[in-house]
Amino acid sequence: MTKDTLAPPLKTAPPPPSVPLPPAAGLVTFDVSQLNIWFGVNQVLKNVSLKIPSKAVSAIIGPSGCGKSTFLRSLNRMHDLVPAARVEGRITLFGQNLYDDDVDATVVRRRVGMVFQKPNPFPTMTIAENVTVGLRLNGVRKRNLIQERMERSLRMAALWDEVKDRLNANALSLSGGQQQRLCIARALAIEPEVLLMDEPASALDPIATAKIEELILGLKKSYTIVIVTHNMQQAARISDLTAFFYLGELVEFDKTNRIFTNPAKKQTEDYVTGRFG
């Protein structure tokens, strides 16, 4: 395996006073401080600071172009792949600075998984191969381990029962909702600690969306989840905390029930009630 310069996560960290944490947590997964991101000359994120707690779902809402996806992708260094992107500021994952010079981005991405808006299972691979690709291409050889992880991930993604008899079928033979759950299983197979989701259900029908939401509610016991969504009811249903972004700035970050029943800032209230624009 390639060098892993990120030490295991800290066992304890004092809860930061400025941000309310959900009851059972006490750990902070991401500590974002003065994050600024430019694409070329455009500044897309301005001085964003917040602390994302562990084993909870944090939702990111805001109108189009407000920087939600940009923010999400900075958490697993996906902007490294975009030459025009410039990231300044500090993001720590379990206390370790993600953007340090000696941190290997591929290792970061194995600890921080990502699921995208459009389901993208690899088209030349079967269902089983898709789930295990992250393990196999990262050097894992033991067949038992691969098999076991595959079943476990598919169960966690609530897909096992539907595909267990056709694991060798091509991944594209699944429906859209099933493909997205396959992508979630694929991300979970490498056992990340964090799951980033960029509008995971927006391309799906209501039933598939409901299944994904139930899945997320089940996963949050074991994973830190950050989800970007443009569906506010979805954010209200599944998240513990919600961050509202507008024009690249973090306007408000608070417990979900506060944001949706009594937000502190008028901007948030206007957006949430649909009085924007």
Binding site for other proteins (CB under 8 A): 2, 76, 78, 81, 106-110, 113-114, 116, 118, 120, 122-124, 133-134, 137-138, 170, 172, 183, 186-187, 190, 210-211, 214, 217-218, 233, 236-237, 256-257, 260-261
Question: Cβ of residue 52: shortest distance to other proteins, in angstroms?
Answer: 18
Helix (H, G, I), strand (E, B) or coil at 250: strand
Please answer whether residues 126 and 168 qualify as being in contact, where contact means their C-beta atoms are separated by less than 8 angstroms. yes
In the complex, least distance from residue 107 CB atom to other proteins, rounded to whole angstroms: 7
What lies within 8 Å, CB to CB, of 142 at 6+ separation is: none
Name the residue nearer to other proteins (CB basis): 92 or 120.
Answer: 120
Cα 52 to Cα 49: distance, rounded to the nearest angstrom: 10
Which one, 36 or 120, has the nearer CB to other proteins? Answer: 120
Distance of alpha carbon 77 from alpha carbon 52, whole angstroms: 16
Task: Specify the residue, 30 or 260, whose C-beta has the smaller distance to other proteins.
Answer: 260
Q: Decide whether 11 or 275 has the Cβ nearer to other proteins.
A: 275
CB-nearer residue toward other proteins: 249 or 269? 269
Of 14 and 123, CB closest to other proteins? 123
76 in helix, strand or coil?
coil
Q: The tokens of 137 are what?
A: 């291409």
User: What is the nearest approach in angstroms of other proteins to the Cβ of residue 236?
Assistant: 5
What is the CA 145 to chain-centroid distance, rounded? 25
Strand bridging mode 241-246 / 249-255:
antiparallel
Q: How far is the CB of 108 from other proteins (least distance, A)?
A: 8
Cβ 238 to other proteins, closest distance in Å? 8
* Order of strands across the sheet that contains 42-53: 42-53, 28-39, 85-93, 96-97
Q: How far apart are alpha carbons 221 and 34 in whole angstroms?
A: 29
Smallest distance from the beta carbon of 234 to other proteins, in angstroms? 9
